[in-house]
Amino acid sequence: MRLRVVPGFISPPPGFGGLCYTPTARACVNISIPLQLRVIEMLESLLTLAKFFAEKSVSRFMITIVIFFLILMLVPENLSEYLEKKSAIPYSMQLFCFSIAFVSTLILDRVVILFLRMFYLIRGFVKKRKMLKNLNSLNAEQIRIIELFLQYNCQLTLCPDNPNVALLVKMRIISFVRKCSLGNDSQFQLNPEYEDLIFETWNPCTKRFE
Protein backbone atom coordinates (compact mmCIF):
# COMPACT_ATOMS: atom_id res chain seq x y z
CA MET A 1 0.00 0.00 0.00
CA ARG A 2 1.43 3.38 -1.04
CA LEU A 3 1.07 6.48 1.15
CA ARG A 4 0.56 9.97 -0.24
CA VAL A 5 3.07 12.32 1.34
CA VAL A 6 2.07 15.94 1.71
CA PRO A 7 4.33 18.52 3.42
CA GLY A 8 3.40 18.74 7.09
CA PHE A 9 1.41 15.53 7.42
CA ILE A 10 1.00 11.99 6.04
CA SER A 11 -2.25 11.02 4.42
CA PRO A 12 -3.12 7.47 5.56
CA PRO A 13 -4.76 4.93 3.33
CA PRO A 14 -8.50 5.11 2.85
CA GLY A 15 -10.44 3.84 5.84
CA PHE A 16 -7.90 4.92 8.45
CA GLY A 17 -9.77 8.09 9.48
CA GLY A 18 -8.18 11.49 10.21
CA LEU A 19 -4.82 12.97 9.36
CA CYS A 20 -1.60 11.89 11.09
CA TYR A 21 0.79 14.80 11.75
CA THR A 22 4.49 14.29 11.28
CA PRO A 23 6.91 15.31 14.10
CA THR A 24 7.74 18.49 12.18
CA ALA A 25 4.07 19.46 11.95
CA ARG A 26 3.55 18.74 15.64
CA ALA A 27 6.47 21.00 16.53
CA CYS A 28 5.05 23.79 14.39
CA VAL A 29 1.65 23.44 16.07
CA ASN A 30 3.21 23.43 19.54
CA ILE A 31 5.16 26.59 18.71
CA SER A 32 2.15 28.39 17.22
CA ILE A 33 -0.16 27.79 20.21
CA PRO A 34 1.58 30.29 22.56
CA LEU A 35 1.69 32.80 19.72
CA GLN A 36 -2.04 32.39 19.13
CA LEU A 37 -2.76 32.85 22.82
CA ARG A 38 -0.64 36.00 22.88
CA VAL A 39 -2.49 37.38 19.86
CA ILE A 40 -5.82 36.61 21.53
CA GLU A 41 -4.70 38.38 24.71
CA MET A 42 -3.68 41.43 22.69
CA LEU A 43 -7.01 41.46 20.85
CA GLU A 44 -8.91 41.19 24.13
CA SER A 45 -6.92 44.10 25.53
CA LEU A 46 -7.60 46.18 22.42
CA LEU A 47 -11.31 45.37 22.56
CA THR A 48 -11.42 46.33 26.24
CA LEU A 49 -9.71 49.65 25.49
CA ALA A 50 -12.01 50.27 22.52
CA LYS A 51 -15.08 49.61 24.67
CA PHE A 52 -13.71 51.88 27.38
CA PHE A 53 -12.96 54.78 25.04
CA ALA A 54 -16.28 54.39 23.25
CA GLU A 55 -17.87 55.76 26.42
CA LYS A 56 -15.44 58.69 26.72
CA SER A 57 -15.11 61.93 24.85
CA VAL A 58 -12.68 62.23 21.97
CA SER A 59 -10.78 65.08 23.63
CA ARG A 60 -10.18 63.08 26.81
CA PHE A 61 -9.06 60.11 24.72
CA MET A 62 -6.55 62.21 22.80
CA ILE A 63 -5.17 63.79 25.98
CA THR A 64 -4.76 60.35 27.54
CA ILE A 65 -2.90 59.06 24.48
CA VAL A 66 -0.56 62.07 24.44
CA ILE A 67 0.28 61.68 28.14
CA PHE A 68 0.70 57.93 27.65
CA PHE A 69 3.32 58.32 24.92
CA LEU A 70 5.09 61.10 26.81
CA ILE A 71 5.46 58.82 29.82
CA LEU A 72 6.74 55.99 27.63
CA MET A 73 9.35 58.30 26.14
CA LEU A 74 10.57 59.53 29.54
CA VAL A 75 10.58 56.22 31.43
CA PRO A 76 13.95 54.36 31.53
CA GLU A 77 14.16 51.14 29.52
CA ASN A 78 15.31 49.01 32.46
CA LEU A 79 12.10 49.86 34.32
CA SER A 80 10.06 47.95 31.75
CA GLU A 81 12.10 44.79 32.29
CA TYR A 82 11.89 45.23 36.06
CA LEU A 83 8.09 45.56 36.05
CA GLU A 84 7.55 42.57 33.78
CA LYS A 85 9.91 40.49 35.93
CA LYS A 86 8.24 41.45 39.20
CA SER A 87 4.63 41.33 38.06
CA ALA A 88 4.88 38.49 35.52
CA ILE A 89 2.23 40.32 33.48
CA PRO A 90 2.76 40.88 29.74
CA TYR A 91 2.96 44.55 28.74
CA SER A 92 2.96 45.55 32.42
CA MET A 93 4.97 48.67 31.62
CA GLN A 94 2.46 49.81 29.01
CA LEU A 95 -0.45 49.09 31.36
CA PHE A 96 1.27 50.99 34.16
CA CYS A 97 1.98 54.01 31.95
CA PHE A 98 -1.55 53.97 30.58
CA SER A 99 -2.99 53.90 34.10
CA ILE A 100 -0.89 56.92 35.06
CA ALA A 101 -1.97 58.71 31.86
CA PHE A 102 -5.64 57.99 32.51
CA VAL A 103 -5.50 59.14 36.15
CA SER A 104 -3.58 62.26 35.06
CA THR A 105 -6.30 63.00 32.50
CA LEU A 106 -9.01 62.70 35.16
CA ILE A 107 -7.10 64.99 37.52
CA LEU A 108 -6.48 67.48 34.71
CA ASP A 109 -10.17 67.38 33.80
CA ARG A 110 -11.19 68.18 37.40
CA VAL A 111 -8.59 70.94 37.66
CA VAL A 112 -9.80 72.57 34.43
CA ILE A 113 -13.44 72.39 35.58
CA LEU A 114 -12.52 73.92 38.95
CA PHE A 115 -10.48 76.64 37.26
CA LEU A 116 -13.34 77.52 34.89
CA ARG A 117 -15.82 77.69 37.77
CA MET A 118 -13.52 79.96 39.75
CA PHE A 119 -12.88 82.08 36.66
CA TYR A 120 -16.60 82.57 35.97
CA LEU A 121 -17.28 83.35 39.64
CA ILE A 122 -14.52 85.95 39.76
CA ARG A 123 -15.56 87.43 36.43
CA GLY A 124 -19.19 87.62 37.56
CA PHE A 125 -18.17 89.26 40.85
CA VAL A 126 -16.02 91.86 39.08
CA LYS A 127 -18.76 92.55 36.54
CA LYS A 128 -21.35 92.96 39.30
CA ARG A 129 -19.13 95.39 41.19
CA LYS A 130 -18.65 97.45 38.04
CA MET A 131 -22.40 97.52 37.35
CA LEU A 132 -23.14 98.61 40.93
CA LYS A 133 -20.56 101.36 40.59
CA ASN A 134 -22.30 102.58 37.43
CA LEU A 135 -25.71 102.54 39.13
CA ASN A 136 -24.49 104.44 42.18
CA SER A 137 -22.88 107.08 39.97
CA LEU A 138 -26.29 108.19 38.60
CA ASN A 139 -27.63 111.62 39.48
CA ALA A 140 -31.00 112.29 41.14
CA GLU A 141 -32.89 112.70 37.85
CA GLN A 142 -31.55 109.45 36.47
CA ILE A 143 -32.42 107.68 39.74
CA ARG A 144 -36.01 108.91 39.38
CA ILE A 145 -36.19 107.33 35.92
CA ILE A 146 -34.94 104.04 37.36
CA GLU A 147 -37.54 104.32 40.16
CA LEU A 148 -40.27 104.53 37.52
CA PHE A 149 -39.09 101.23 36.06
CA LEU A 150 -39.04 99.74 39.57
CA GLN A 151 -42.52 101.04 40.31
CA TYR A 152 -44.29 99.93 37.13
CA ASN A 153 -42.04 97.00 36.18
CA CYS A 154 -42.79 97.42 32.48
CA GLN A 155 -41.69 99.35 29.42
CA LEU A 156 -41.82 103.13 29.77
CA THR A 157 -42.37 105.87 27.23
CA LEU A 158 -39.55 108.41 27.47
CA CYS A 159 -38.12 111.18 25.37
CA PRO A 160 -34.88 110.01 23.73
CA ASP A 161 -33.70 113.62 23.47
CA ASN A 162 -33.61 113.89 27.25
CA PRO A 163 -29.90 113.94 28.22
CA ASN A 164 -30.54 111.75 31.28
CA VAL A 165 -32.32 109.14 29.16
CA ALA A 166 -29.58 109.34 26.54
CA LEU A 167 -26.92 108.77 29.20
CA LEU A 168 -28.79 105.76 30.63
CA VAL A 169 -28.94 104.31 27.11
CA LYS A 170 -25.24 105.02 26.59
CA MET A 171 -24.41 103.28 29.88
CA ARG A 172 -26.56 100.35 28.71
CA ILE A 173 -28.73 100.52 31.82
CA ILE A 174 -31.86 100.95 29.71
CA SER A 175 -32.35 99.97 26.08
CA PHE A 176 -34.49 101.25 23.22
CA VAL A 177 -37.50 99.09 22.29
CA ARG A 178 -39.53 100.94 19.67
CA LYS A 179 -40.47 104.42 18.54
CA CYS A 180 -43.98 105.61 19.34
CA SER A 181 -46.32 106.22 16.43
CA LEU A 182 -47.13 109.74 17.63
CA GLY A 183 -44.64 112.36 18.73
CA ASN A 184 -40.92 111.99 19.33
CA ASP A 185 -41.18 109.68 22.34
CA SER A 186 -39.97 106.10 22.35
CA GLN A 187 -40.43 103.05 24.52
CA PHE A 188 -37.56 101.87 26.69
CA GLN A 189 -36.95 98.95 28.99
CA LEU A 190 -34.36 97.99 31.58
CA ASN A 191 -31.39 96.24 30.07
CA PRO A 192 -31.65 92.50 30.92
CA GLU A 193 -28.08 92.59 32.23
CA TYR A 194 -29.03 95.26 34.77
CA GLU A 195 -32.67 94.37 35.46
CA ASP A 196 -32.16 91.60 38.04
CA LEU A 197 -29.35 93.49 39.74
CA ILE A 198 -31.46 96.66 40.01
CA PHE A 199 -34.39 94.83 41.62
CA GLU A 200 -32.12 92.89 43.98
CA THR A 201 -29.91 95.73 45.21
CA TRP A 202 -32.18 98.78 45.22
CA ASN A 203 -32.66 100.30 48.67
CA PRO A 204 -35.59 102.78 48.64
CA CYS A 205 -34.54 104.26 51.99
CA THR A 206 -31.02 105.25 51.02
CA LYS A 207 -31.79 105.64 47.31
CA ARG A 208 -28.74 103.53 46.55
CA PHE A 209 -27.94 100.15 45.08
CA GLU A 210 -26.34 98.03 47.76
**pLDDT higher than threshold 50 for residue 8:** no
**pLDDT tens digits, residue range 13-65?**
444 444 454 555 444 445 455 556 666 666 666 666 666 655 556 677 788 88
Please tell me whether residues 106 and 151 are part of one structural domain: no
For residue 10, the model assigns a pLDDT of 45
What global pTM score does this model have?
Answer: 0.53
Cα dist from 19 to 1, 30, 47, 169, 194, whole Å? 17, 17, 36, 96, 89
Task: Say which CATH number the domain at 191 has.
Answer: 1.10.10
> Residue 6: pLDDT band by 50, 70, 90 thresholds?
very low
Please tell me whether residues 44 and 84 are part of one structural domain: yes
CA distance 178 to 155: 10
Residue 65 neighbours by CB distance under 10 Å? 14
Please tell me whether residues 41 and 115 are part of one structural domain: yes
- Domain residue limits at 108: 36-124
Supply the DSSP string of 128-196, one letter for each residue.
Answer: HHHHHHHHHT--HHHHHHHHHHHHH-S-EEE-TTSHHHHHHHHTTSEEEEEE-SSSS-EEEEE-HHHHH
Please tell me whether residues 118 and 164 are part of one structural domain: no
| Percentage of the chain exceeding pLDDT 90 | 15
Residue 18 lies in a domain: no
Pick from 2-11, 28-37, 124-133, 158-167: least confident:
2-11
Residue 179 lies in a domain: yes
Residue 63 neighbours by CB distance under 10 Å? 17
The residue with greater pLDDT, 112 or 49, is 112
CA distance 208 to 195: 15
**pLDDT tens digits, residue range 169-193?**
999 999 988 988 777 888 899 998 8
The total of structural domains in the chain comes to 2
